[in-house]
Amino acid sequence: MKNTVLISGSGGQGVVSAGIILAESVAESASGTCLPEYGPEQRGGAAKCSVVISDGEIISPLPGKYMNFIAMNEQSHKKYIKQIKDGGLRVFNSNRITGIPADDKTILVPADDIAAEAGNPKTANIAMLGAFIKATGIVSEDNFVKTLKKKFAGKSAEILDMNIFAFKKGLNL
């Protein structure tokens, strides 16, 4: 079973980090690839990261159109929505993407609010992943937290805790 995810946002929102953590946590038990799309700008703009996940070998990591969409701001939502297949899951940051009602395929995550509550605005991406993982079951909670711990090994325990807090908030919306 192959699954594809496009994560988008503005540069600095942690789009690439989210993609890496998601793919790496999946790779604990299955196959995952993560491809950041780079542009000439170092900050701002519309950043994109694609993740391909499979329980078998990943032959092509370049689907063209993606099944699932995680969008963290309005600009990138508009830019990349055309690359999303009909009927896929959409997880939107409701603090920045407004006017879209939630339904069984659309999950609204107040990611900036959660990040503020976590005490670190940089954890909004992890809150988004929490909601996505809850809806898809694509990776176990344990493997995800294990990857978070690996990723933040060099940082303070406080930063790791903030991220775990944001993840759980997203998971239990």
State the Cα–Cα distance between residues 45 and 131, nearest whole angstrom: 24
Q: Which of 58/171 has CB closer to another protein?
A: 58
Write out the residues near another protein by the rule CB under 8 A: 20, 23-24, 27, 31-36, 38-40, 58-65
CB of 19 to another protein, least distance (A): 8
Q: Which of 59/153 has CB closer to another protein?
A: 59
- 71 in helix, strand or coil? strand
CB of 101 to another protein, least distance (A): 29
Single out the residue of 119, 113, 115 nearest to residue 156, CA to CA: 119
Eight-state DSSP code of residue 108: E
Q: Which of 59/157 has CB closer to another protein?
A: 59
Cβ neighbours of residue 145 closer than 8 Å, sequence gap 6 or more: 164, 167
CB of 150 to another protein, least distance (A): 9
Burial-class residue 90 by CB neighbours within 10 Å (0-12, 13-18, 19+). Answer: buried
CB 48 within 8 A of CB 6: yes
Q: Which of 48/96 has CB closer to another protein?
A: 48
CB of 97 to another protein, least distance (A): 25
